[in-house]
Each structure stands twice: as C-alpha cells, then as structure tokens.
Structure 1
Amino acid sequence: MVSQRAIFVDAGFLLAVGGTKVVGTSLRSAFRVDYEKLIEGILRCTEQHSGIDVLRTYWYDASKDALFTDQHKQIGLLPGVKVRLGRISFNGEQKGVDLKLGLDLVGVARNRAASVAYLVSGDDDLAEAVEEAQDLGMKVVLVGVADSGHRLGVMSVAEHLALRVDSIITLPPQLIDSCFTRIVQEAPRPATAPTAPAGHPVPRPVPKPGVPMSKPAVPSRPLHHVPPRSHPAEVSLVYSSGGSGSAIVPEESPMDVAQEVGESVAASWYGSVTQGELVDLLADRPILPVEIDRVLLKDCAQRIGEYKTDLQGVRKALRLAFWQKLDTLI
C-alpha cells in the first residue's frame, strides 16, 4: 500500500459544526466560509499528524439535482481537491452523500492508493465503511472540531463511529474561528429588482388574509444579542445527514430550547436574506420553507435529541418562536 494520506470531508457535517460553533446555527446563509483557507488548514493538520504525502482531498456535499453550484466549482478548482455531490431531497435532506463517501473510502483502500484516511465527519452511517477499509489494511483517523466539555473531545460525533476509527485528532480552534464569518445584517438586503415604484418606499410585507401577525408574550432580545447557548458538559451532539443523530442531555426543558432555537434561527435568517425573500416567506405564512424548517429541527435536535424534537408540541413551539421573533424584527 502506498504510504500517503487521503482526506474525506463531509461538508454538511463540517459546515454545520463550524457554523454552530461560530455563529450559533447551522443555517448556511448565516455565515460565510473561506473554503481555501479551511481546506489548507485541514491539509496542514493531517500532514503534521502523519508526515506523509497527500493523495487528494475528497469534498462531499449535496445540491439540487446533484449539479455543481458556483461555490462547488470554486472548491473543485482548488489543487488536489475532488468534489463529489449528492442531491438534496424535497424535505432538505442530503441523499447519496454518505454512500459516495463510503464507497470512495473503501475503493481507495482496496486499490491500495493510500495508507491512512482522514475522515472529517461524525455520521455513524459511515462506521461499516470504516471497518471495511481497516480490514483492507488502511488506518482511519477521525478529524473533528474540539469540544473539551465532551467525553469524546469533539463536537457532534456519533460514539458508534468514534469507537471504530483508529484515532481521533482535532482541528485547531483558531482555524474554525478564522474560516467562518457571521454575515447576518440588521435587516434584509434590498431586492435586486425593485419591489415598489421609483421614489416610493418598499411596502411592509403582510401575512395572508386571516393569518394575524402574532407577537411574543415577552420582549425578545435584539438581533445581535441572541448568542448560541453553551452546551452542558454532559451533552452529546451527534451529526447525521439523514437526521438520525441523537443526543444525551441532562435536565433541560425541550420547550425552552425550542423557544431559543426558533428565535436564533429567525434572527440569523432575517439578517441574511433579501427583502424579496422576506416578502415571499410572509406570503406563505404560516408555512415555512423546508430548508428553514430543517435547520430548526436539526439545531433543536442537537440540543435535546431527535426523539424529543419529534414531539409535536416541541415542533409547534419551534415554528411559533421563529414567527414571533421575526415579527419583532420586521
């Protein structure tokens, strides 16, 4: 087997963890990522650990119909980076990403193209592929984001996966902090096309007839004062692209968490969209687009676990908190 390393990056996992750590939400429109700097940092970290040459970096993400976006093209043009895309389903879930990553991991091991694989992911669905690659003679090292308060030492990694890799290393905290930048503004950006005649103000969006704009029972905090809530040491954040992650959480009210998550996502979303997108959202009120709804559910599940987030009362509280917070901002 050739003595070199291959890097496998689950972008959905990395961006969700990085965004949550720096911005407080996995909503991608709430932050900007310096992908070149991030990938260079991963290369540097893995080189320091192994001291061997790199085969290439595989970057796995999802998009509509598995088509390259401008962002994916920019990443794919970086030296030594190969972008592999799954698709996004109707409900916002990634499809085919784990399968592609697992097949490539086993394929590289079977072809003896690399002796060490560095896996940037936390999804327990990859555990079987890890074991098969190991059976073929490859070492598999998990690369995570440090979390000193967690027993595994990393954020959002399934214990089922952590128990099967050969070792775990962490990316430098300063790398994540420097590569993820909050881009939330005080208010939505002006639409690219005018929504009102020249010289007239853009009309305030109104909800559909018969759907009143509800107000929160208590005053909400200002936009820039909705910080991510720190996680207790016992909390186990587990990422899963298919939504199968779980968390072990001490006594924490699911309804309180739903309120906080709903407000945080609303504030981040409001400050990262255009006026036209805000108008479109309010036109369909109280229905939320699947991409927003999925972020609400995923961010909440990271705090209280999937089984509690599945409760209808919690889901209703999440969506109500989102709308209430939005009403205080528009």
Structure 2
Amino acid sequence: MDQQAIFIDAGFLLAVGGMQTAGTSLRSATTVNFEPLIEGIRKCTQEFSGLPTLRTYWYDASKDALFTEQHKRIGMISGVKVRLGRMSVDGTQKGVDLKLGLDLVGIARNRGVNTVFLLSGDDDLAEAVEAAQDFGVKVVLVGFEDSSHRLGVTSVAEHLALRVDSIITLPADLVRKCFSKQEKASPLSPVTSAAPALPAPPSVKAVAGAVAVNSAAQKPKPTAAVHPTASVPSFRAPRPDSPELVYSSGRSGTGAGYEDSAMGAAYDVGFAVAESWYNNTTQIALRELVAERPILPPEIDRVLLKDCASKIGEQKTDYQGIRKELRRAFWERLDQLA
C-alpha cells in the first residue's frame, strides 16, 4: 500500500521534549499540547515521504494498562490509536516495547504500509526494525537534532540508528510550540524547621562545658503532638565529610564548582529534578518524601538516572560516585527550596 504509518514511543518523545523544555524528563515538569504535536509529526513525515498516513500509533504505559484521562484525549485525536503497556510499582514501563515491535512487524507482514516512521531511541527495537525491513517496508527513524552527537540526534541508541533506512529530525520550533515548562498552580506551604536554626558549631571544649551546665539546669520538655496537616519539619540527614570537594550554594552551568564535567552534570541533573518535582508536588507527597529520607522513591530515582544518562551516557551514570552525587544534589536543592 502506498501509505505510511507512524509509531511513537511516548516515553521517548515526552522525555526528550521535557529535557529540552524544563531540563528534566519528569513528566509533571512540562505541559504538552498533544494535538498540534502529533499533527506536526504527521506533517513532517508526510513531507519526507510524500505519502498519506494510515494511522499514528501512540505507545505509553499506565497502571494496569488502563486509559487515563490524558490517554483518552490523545485517543480521540483523528487518526491516532493509543496502545498501552503496564506501569510497574517502581515506575518502569512493562510491555510497551513488545507491543510496538509486534505491531511494527505485523503491519509490515500484512503489507498495510510501505513506509514506517519510528519515534524511539530504544535499541530493543532493532530486531523488530530488521524484521519489518525483511517484508519490504522502509523504516525511518524520527529524532531530535543534536549537532554535537555523532549520530546527529539525541537519546538514540547507535544499535537502532544503524539499522533504520533513514534518519530525519523534527523541527525545533515544534517542541517550543507544543511543550511548556509547568508552573505550580499554588505555592506550597513552607516546610519550616520545628526548632530554631542552629548557630555555627562551637569548639569541642565549649560543647563539653555547655553539656555540664545544661544537664544540671534543664529538664527535657514533652514534645507536642503534630497535627497531620501541619507543615513537615525540614530534615537534613548528616552528610559525610568530603574536604576534597567544594560545593557552591547556588547552581552554575558547570555544576557545584566541579572541574569534572560528569560530576558537574550529575549535580545539575539532581538540582533540576528536585526543582521540577517540588514545583509540581503536594504537601502530602512532600511529607511522604521527607519521612523516607535519604531513600528516594523509585520513580524519582529512575528520572535522575535517565536524565543523567542522556547527558553523560549510561556507562558513566553506572558509576557509584555519579549516582551518589545525583541523589545528594537532589536533597540539597530540596533543602534550599524548603
């Protein structure tokens, strides 16, 4: 058939768009105007192929693979079919790549189209691409331009890029027009400390004298009960001394005074994710997060690792030092905001 189909990995599209718009792939950090975005992708691909579009497939995940209100709105766009995988408890998508790969091979086997446009960067789809090509279908990868990358596109696995027939990029103004940084609707109540700020630590000798006096003159006071809706005390977990590193109090383009670009990138990613998360959260979610400190929920940890990998690569992100810095920077920025 002289027509085309478009396969969109929503996780890939929204993550890259979010990184370019808000500096993080955290979905709550951006607002997306889906109808002009999908129409812009359709127009871009049709200009390249000169073919009409049979259908645009939108692959995403949700709890129990059930349609959310957002998925329903996307599914109501003319010519769009939403296909859902499951979202696991740790925020990982399950079954999305499998559905996309099977549909890609199936439409090629049935000769439904002769050209497929694929928006994804996942190397797990490379085998499905080759299987579709064996049935005579051309597969064109659609990406986001990155002139500094050797592939010319961002967040695409080389294993996948080497197997498609062509690579095209979306217009930069399409992302600017359809993605916008999410601003929080109403400010959060300040997360204030239950105790007054402590002065700079005194000397060991002074501490010893103060302890002797206080132990004789003061008795502990009962702690008042905290109402469930009260502000959450700011809790700062003690950090190990690291005299070899110097951190600035503010964020800079190269991280917290780091000469190491990878560590600086990790700091910036942790900073950006914390800021975006805080700006779009609730007091309940903030209370739950602080209660579990220093442990981060899997969905936040996953975003930190994903965003860092997009900047410095997965290999460097696997280093324990990088991962520790991601989480440290997240908590540091959250402390500043609170």
Relative to the length of structure 1, the TM-score reads 0.82
Contact kept, 8 Å, 1:187 with 1:270, in 2: the verdict is no
1:205 and 2:235 equivalent? no
Contact kept, 8 Å, 1:228 with 1:264, in 2: the verdict is no
Q: Distance in 2 between matches of 1:326 and 1:187?
A: 17
Cα displacement string for residues 9-30 of structure 1 (whole angstroms, at most 9, x for unaligned residues): 0000011111111111101110
Residue of structure 1 equivalent to 2:297: 289
The structure with the larger Rg is 2
Q: Distance in 2 between matches of 1:166 and 1:179?
A: 28
Distance 1:228 1:171, change over 3 A: farther
Shift of residue 89, structure 1, vs aligned partner: 2.1
CA RMSD of aligned residues (A): 2.6
Moved more, 69-78 or 254-263: 254-263
Q: Distance in 2 between matches of 1:40 and 1:186?
A: 28
Residue of structure 2 equivalent to 1:236: none
Matches within 5 A, 1:155-170: 155-170=154-169
Contact kept, 8 Å, 1:143 with 1:168, in 2: the verdict is yes
Q: Distance in 1 between matches of 2:78 and 2:264?
A: 46
Matches within 5 A, 1:252-267: 252-267=260-275
Secondary structure of the structure 1 residue equivalent to 2:280: coil
Contact kept, 8 Å, 1:5 with 1:54, in 2: the verdict is yes
Cα displacement string for residues 136-183 of structure 1 (whole angstroms, at most 9, x for unaligned residues): 011111111111222222111111111111111111100011111001
Q: Which amino acid aligns with 2:231?
A: R
Distance 1:149 1:310, change over 3 A: closer
Q: Distance in 2 between matches of 1:288 and 1:6?
A: 40
Shift of residue 122, structure 1, vs aligned partner: 1.1
Cα displacement string for residues 4-57 of structure 1 (whole angstroms, at most 9, x for unaligned residues): 000000000011111111111101110011111110001111111112111100
Shift of residue 189, structure 1, vs aligned partner: 4.8
Residue of structure 1 equivalent to 2:26: 27
Distance 1:267 1:66, change over 3 A: same
Contact kept, 8 Å, 2:254 with 2:261, in 1: the verdict is no
Matches within 5 A, 1:220-299: 220-221=250-251, 252-299=260-307
Secondary structure of the structure 2 residue equivalent to 1:56: strand
Secondary structure of the structure 2 residue equivalent to 1:298: helix
Matches within 5 A, 1:70-219: 70-185=69-184, 188-189=187-188, 203-206=230-233, 211=237, 218-219=248-249
Secondary structure of the structure 1 residue equivalent to 2:248: coil
Residue of structure 2 equivalent to 1:306: 314
Residue of structure 1 equivalent to 2:325: 317
Secondary structure of the structure 1 residue equivalent to 2:183: coil
Moved more, 289-298 or 312-321: 312-321
Residue of structure 1 equivalent to 2:201: none
Q: Which amino acid aligns with 1:60?
A: Y
Q: Distance in 2 between matches of 1:40 and 1:188?
A: 34
Secondary structure of the structure 1 residue equivalent to 2:59: strand
Moved more, 318-327 or 282-291: 282-291
Q: Distance in 1 between matches of 2:130 and 2:91?
A: 29
Shift of residue 84, structure 1, vs aligned partner: 0.6
Shift of residue 186, structure 1, vs aligned partner: 9.3
Q: Distance in 1 between matches of 2:155 and 2:254?
A: 15
Shift of residue 280, structure 1, vs aligned partner: 2.1
Contact kept, 8 Å, 1:262 with 1:318, in 2: the verdict is yes
Q: Distance in 1 between matches of 2:3 and 2:35?
A: 21
Shift of residue 295, structure 1, vs aligned partner: 0.5
Q: Which amino acid aligns with 1:274?
A: T
Residue of structure 1 equivalent to 2:192: none
Q: Distance in 1 between matches of 2:271 and 2:297?
A: 16
Contact kept, 8 Å, 2:54 with 2:113, in 1: the verdict is yes
Secondary structure of the structure 1 residue equivalent to 2:82: strand
Q: Distance in 1 between matches of 2:289 and 2:253?
A: 24
Q: Distance in 2 between matches of 1:52 and 1:261?
A: 41
